């Protein structure tokens, strides 16, 4: 099974994975190989994935987006995009693209931040600040923005706690 993370204005990221856990509009969902086709909204939060042949989990914090789970997914990439992603390496391109019958998990998001890029001290400070803003929000617009910010900062802080518990993210 392959996990593709499509982030605005960045190269498409691909990981060979055994399992993915993500925050959807209806709650957390686990995706395994041969999962039924699915289209769902993604909530801001923590995405965890277990890479093939590795014991530990990896993760990232995402902004809201769209989840697509499908077999036999076909990419249509321009020559310019292929060069940007594959650096003119045909072997990399073969490995990157899905094999016939392979389950593909695609995340379309505006932003994603990987575990190793999150500073635990600043994550806690931002989470605390977001909680204060949520508690003091007066208008509906302020509350909606504060709820969004609180979800995102909570996920960033939570992931730093998971790193501290496991001692490593590798």
Give 53-63 pLDDT, tens digit per residue. Answer: 888 888 888 98
Mean pLDDT of 5-9: 83
Lowest pLDDT segment from 40-44, 47-51, 54-58, 102-106: 54-58
Tens of pLDDT, residue by residue over 74-102, are: 666 666 655 555 555 666 666 777 777 88
**What is the model's pLDDT at position 77?**
60
Provide the residue ranges of all domains of the chain, joining segments of one domain with +: 2-115, 118-166
Percentage of the chain lying above the pLDDT 70 cut? 81
How far from each other are the two terminal CA atoms of the chain, in whole angstroms?
Answer: 20
- Other Cβ atoms within 10 Å of 122 Cβ, number: 13
What does residue 11 show for φ and ψ, rounded to 5 degrees?
-65, 150
Mean pLDDT of 18-30: 94
Write out the DSSP string of 79-103: HHHHHHHHTT-HHHHHHHSPPTT-E
User: What CATH homologous superfamily does 2-115 map to?
Assistant: F0F1 ATP synthase delta/epsilon subunit, N-terminal (2.60.15.10)
Whether residue 6 contacts residue 108, with contact meaning beta carbons closer than 8 Å, is answered with yes
More confident residue, 84 or 125: 125
Task: Please determine, for residue 21, whether its predicted confidence score (pLDDT) is greater than 80.
Answer: yes
For the chain, helix (H) and strand (E) counts, in that order, are: 4, 9
**What is the model's pLDDT at position 96?**
72
């Amino acid at each position: 099974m392959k996990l593709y993370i499509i982030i605005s204005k960045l190269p498409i990221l691909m990981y060979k994975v055994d399992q993915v856990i993500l925050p959807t509009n209806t709650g957390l969902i686990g995706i395994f190989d041969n999962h039924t086709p699915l289209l769902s909204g993604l909530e801001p939060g923590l995405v965890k994935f277990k890479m093939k042949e590795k014991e530990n989990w990896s993760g990232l914090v995402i902004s809201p987006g769209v989840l697509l789970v499908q077999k036999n997914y076909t990419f249509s990439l321009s020559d310019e995009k292929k060069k940007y992603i594959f650096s003119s390496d045909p072997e990399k391109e073969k490995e990157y693209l899905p094999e016939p019958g392979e389950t593909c998990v695609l995340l379309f998001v505006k932003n994603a931040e990987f575990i190793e890029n999150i500073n635990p001290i600043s994550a806690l400070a931002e989470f605390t600040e977001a909680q204060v803003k949520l508690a003091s929000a007066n208008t509906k617009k302020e509350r909606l923005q504060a709820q969004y910010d609180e979800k995102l900062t909570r996920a960033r802080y939570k992931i730093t706690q998971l790193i501290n518990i496991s001692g490593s993210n590798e």
